[in-house]
Amino acid sequence: MMKPKILISKCIEHCQCRYDGTMIKSDFVQMLKPFVEFITVCPEVEMGLSIPRQSLRLIYHEGNIQLIESIDGQDHTEKMNAFIRDFPLEQLNIHGSILKNRSPSCGISSVKTYSSHGKVPALAFKSVGMFARALQNHYEDLPIEDEGRLSNYVIRDHFLTSIFTLARFNPLNHHELVEFHSQNKYLLMAYHQKNQKIMGRIVANHENLSFEAVKKTYYIYLKGVFLEPVHPGKNENVILHMFGYFSQQLSIEERNFYLEQIKLYRQHKLPFPALMAMMYSWIIRFDVEYLKQQTIFEPYPKEILNLRDSGKERI
The answer, yes or no, to whether the previous bond of 52 is cis (omega within 30 of 0) is yes
What three-state secondary structure class fits 112?
Answer: strand
Min separation Cβ 106 and ligand SF4, Å: 4
Note the residues at the interface with ligand SF4 (CB under 6 A).
Answer: 9-11, 17-18, 42-45, 100, 103, 105-106
- Which residues lie closer than 8 Å to 225 by C-beta, 6 or more apart? 188, 191, 192, 195, 196, 199
Tell me how far, at minimum, the Cβ of 91 lies from ligand SF4, in Å.
20
Which of 77, 247 has the CB closer to ligand SF4? 77
Output the smallest distance, CB 129 to ligand SF4, in A: 7
Single-letter amino acid code for the residue at 208 = N
Nearest C-alpha neighbor of 79 from the set 118, 111, 53, 40: 53
What's the CA gap between 226 and 314, in Å, rounded?
Answer: 17
**Based on CB atoms, which residue is closest to ligand SF4, 132 or 214?**
132
**Least spacing, CB of residue 22 vs ligand SF4, in Å:** 9
Q: Which is nearer to ligand SF4, 57 or 168 (CB)?
A: 57
Q: Return the number of the residue (97 or 295) whose C-beta is nearest ligand SF4.
A: 97
By beta-carbon proximity to ligand SF4, the closer residue of 72 and 179 is: 72
Residue 79 phi, psi dihedral angles, 5° rounding: -60, -45
Residue nearest to ligand SF4 (CB): 11
Residues with Cβ within 8 Å of 97's Cβ and at least 6 positions away in sequence, in order, are: 6, 7, 8, 135, 139, 142, 143, 144, 145
Question: CB 110 → ligand SF4: shortest distance, Å?
Answer: 14
Q: How far is the CB of 44 from ligand SF4 (least distance, A)?
A: 4
Closest to ligand SF4 by CB, 75 vs 309, is 75
Taking the C-alpha atoms of residue 77 and residue 75, their distance in angstroms, rounded to an integer, is 6
